[in-house]
Amino acid sequence: MARHNVMEQMICAAARLLENGATVAVGTGAPCAAAMLAQKTHAPDLLILFEAGGVAPILPEMPISVGDSRTFFKGVMATGMCEIMETCQRGLVDYTFLGGAQIDMYGNLNSTVIGPHAEPKVRLPGSGGANDFASFCWRTMVITPQDTRRFTNDIDYITTPGFLTGGNARDEAGLPPGTGPYRVITNMAIMDFEEASRRMRVISLHPGFTIEQVRASCGFELLVADVLGVTDPPSDEELAILRDEVDPGRYIIGRS
Amino acid sequence: MDVVKRGKGELFTSPDPDVAREFFRAKNKALVAKVMTVQEAVRRFVHDGDYLAIGGFGANRIPTAVCHEIVRQKRRGMGFLGHTSTHDFQILAAGEVFDRCDVAYVVGLEARGLSPNARRYMESGKVRVTENSNYGLSLRLKAAAMGLPFLPARHLMGTDTFEKSPASIVTCPYTARKLVLQPAVYPDVAAIHVHEADVFGNCRIRGIHISDLDLARASRRLIITCERLVHSDEIRSDPTRTLIPYYLVDAVCEVRYGGYPGCMAHEYFSDEEHLRKWLEVERDPEAFAAFLQANIYGVSDFWEYLERNGGMRKLTRLRRMELRIRAREEDHGQA
């Protein structure tokens, strides 16, 4: 049996990107696990915000909903959605984590429909708070497994803005300057976005994966950094905290 | 302000504050008792064709009894505000009560997965859809709560969410930056579940209030369900805790465990087993019809629904879960 699984690798990689003292708006699932792990390891002063109004909870376990009572358990404030979103809009929130059914080379996300909007093949939930967080937070991170269907330039619908059509398109559209996608963390690699074109670029491979595998599991052409790093595997300490304290029920990291 | 661009999403309600002002002027603000059954409240205040909004967020502090009653009384042709609407959306979609919807988040139940039946309904072509985001819908309610026709924000721009929304992009007269204007939404009727209310409708909520303070102020008619009625002296002993004042409220219904099977902060946790059952049974339309008959159409009120799904035994266990009280092993085993 492998020492750790891909979800554990993704969560650890994401957690390490959250520095101590940072502010992060998270949803449930892997993003919340990453924030909890960061808080229990290198970032005890991480400020966690939930869109429904939970501020700085001491999370006793993984919430099921971004509005359930765990999201403000022993928190400093239980407020409302406008307060949280406007805190982001005022520029106080460094990071957010998002996912989606589709992502394109500029980090635009679709969580609304597969197929035409008027006659959808699959109706998905919609934006929720994703468009808001990705517009307002300084750095958007995406945690998602990659395959050629999910990583596609034939995105059916842009729910949530990445760099739109690349270059300066995001600023020109009117979104707050200096914001945008920062990292994409997949089961195989970590990507950033190249400065001028704003195209997705592989910067680090998880142990055991090759750049050929990463390319073959992506529906568009990926840029590759000049110096390609190797992601550190989860440490014994990270794995122990993740398995025993963050997700003892194995809801996110799986029961494998 | 120059309009740079308009979203093509249909505007289902008038954002005109003067139309709303006329309504609110005529609304009865008398301090009178409004306690009634959920059945009566829905009969009197929820009509075919109304634009409806439901308080809470996800399966948290939702007025489940009102949602059931709307389905049971077979309301049709309603508009709906889908602001992270999960189990409430699932119930209302099961009854096919709405045919137009402002969507920020629907169909899904967050980490629990997608509702097969709500998906089928939204894919059937029976529902006209306008898109937005959670903050977009919160802001539309806030604009209405402020008595304004719109409020600005800095999101949506450049996306299909904007294209399918009723928002506009304008140039800011002060900074020359682009801004999105979100039109006010004044719902015809809303239902909100709270922890405590007095007979007049003064309400207390513990924990996050999400968008419910604005929703209460934006809505023309408001049905409150509460875990407990409290004496008005209790409300007046600590008025800082009143979040919704009585003059916004049309009906007060005492519904203990009224947020079940959702989570009610400081009261009871969500019944994940029952929510999972909904998702499973929805895969088969015939089995789902029988399930709805057993849980909504064939029951007389919310008490009966609770009793059919484990009653006090289960609710006691959910209460302990919420309060994180670890009781003896055998006590857990009973439920």
Q: Which domains does chain A have, with CATH numbers?
A: 6-185+236-246 (3.40.1080.10)
Q: Which residues of B touch A54 (CB under 8 A)?
A: 208
Q: Assess if residue B314 is contained within a domain.
A: no
A64 and B129 within 8 Å at the Cβ level: the answer is: no
Q: Assess if residue B133 is contained within a domain.
A: yes
Q: Assess if residue B107 is contained within a domain.
A: yes
Q: Assess if residue B279 is contained within a domain.
A: no
The complex's ipTM?
0.96
pLDDT digits (tens, 9 = 90+) for B233-251: 999 999 999 999 999 999 9
Residues B305-312: what's their mean pLDDT? Answer: 97
**Best residue of B159, B263, B326 to probe chain A, by most A CBs closer than 10 Å:** B159
Q: Is the confidence at residue A8, as pLDDT, over 90?
A: yes
CA separation for the pair B10, B24 (Å, rounded): 25
SS3 A224: strand
Of A80, A117, A125, the CB nearest to B106: A125
**Best residue of A81, A117, A179, A247 to probe chain B, by most B CBs closer than 10 Å:** A81
For chain B, what is the domain count? 1
Describe chain A by its helix, strand, coil percentages, rounded to 5.
25, 20, 55
> Which residue on chain A is closest to B142 by alpha carbon?
A82
Q: What is the pTM of this model?
A: 0.97
B-contacting residues in A 89-108 (Cβ below 8 Å): 89, 108
Q: Tell me the pLDDT of chain B averaged across its residues.
A: 96
Q: Which residues of A touch B177 (CB under 8 A)?
A: 174
> What percentage of chain B has pLDDT greater than the value 90?
96
Q: Tell me the residue range of the domain where B52 lies.
A: 2-261
pLDDT at A255: 55
Q: Assess if residue B335 is contained within a domain.
A: no
Question: Would you say B43 and B71 are in contact if contact means Cβ atoms under 8 Å apart?
Answer: no
Q: Assess if residue B165 is contained within a domain.
A: yes
pLDDT digits (tens, 9 = 90+) for B91-139: 999 999 999 999 999 999 998 999 999 999 999 999 999 999 999 999 9
Q: By the CB < 8 Å criterion, does A76 face chain B?
A: no
Of A53, A85, A117, the CB nearest to B164: A117
The CATH number of residue B156's host domain is: 3.40.1080.10
Q: Assess if residue B170 is contained within a domain.
A: yes
**Best residue of A62, A65, A253 to probe chain B, by most B CBs closer than 10 Å:** A65
A212 as an active site residue: the answer is: no
SS3 A15: helix
Phi and psi (nearest 5°) for B318?
-65, -30
Of B57, B139, B156, the CB nearest to A67: B57
pLDDT digits (tens, 9 = 90+) for B151-209: 999 999 999 999 999 999 999 999 999 999 999 999 999 999 999 999 999 999 999 99
Q: Assess if residue B104 is contained within a domain.
A: yes
Q: By the CB < 8 Å criterion, does A114 face chain B?
A: no
